[in-house]
Amino acid sequence: MAIKKLFIGLGSNLGDRLQQINSAKTQIIHLFNSNIICSSVYETEPWGFKEQQPFLNQVVALETSLHPTKIWNILATIENNMGRIRQLKFGPRTIDLDILLLNSQFYKNQTLTIPHPHLHQRRFVLIPLSELDANLIHPIYSKTIQELLTVCEDSSQVIKYHYHENKS
């Protein structure tokens, strides 16, 4: 099987948001048996359902030869392990893991669409994604991530999150 570059969006707005994201990254590294490249972490306004706490968001990239449904199953397992409860569409969550892109592949079944169908509409995804690879081409819109960000109508705040890591 061919190796493909996978981009995953991570988000959390419940509990210790940074710890939730770091825990998810640890599980991604372990379950995909792969190193990851990480964007900065961003604090962002909620998208879709506004009456909730701000999110922390990040995008990670890794290489994999797994089929999209296997990737989705692994990410769903991580979400379940971390207590993700789906009560309200776009609602609060301990962790949200989205497949954003898988090379320039288009994939769709009843539960999964790649690239993520809202990727081009969300600054909280486009900004960290452009940090990792601004020249990446969206397989449907045939525009770079930077071009999509330039024309994105989302005006929500996306601010680089500054935190102090414990160096002990």
Active-site amino acid positions: 84, 93, 96, 98
User: In whole angstroms, what is the distance from residue 153 CA to residue 1 CA?
Assistant: 38
Per DSSP, the residues of 5-64 read: EEEEEEEE-SSSHHHHHHHHHHHHHHHHT---EE---EEE--SS--SSPPEEEEEEEEEE
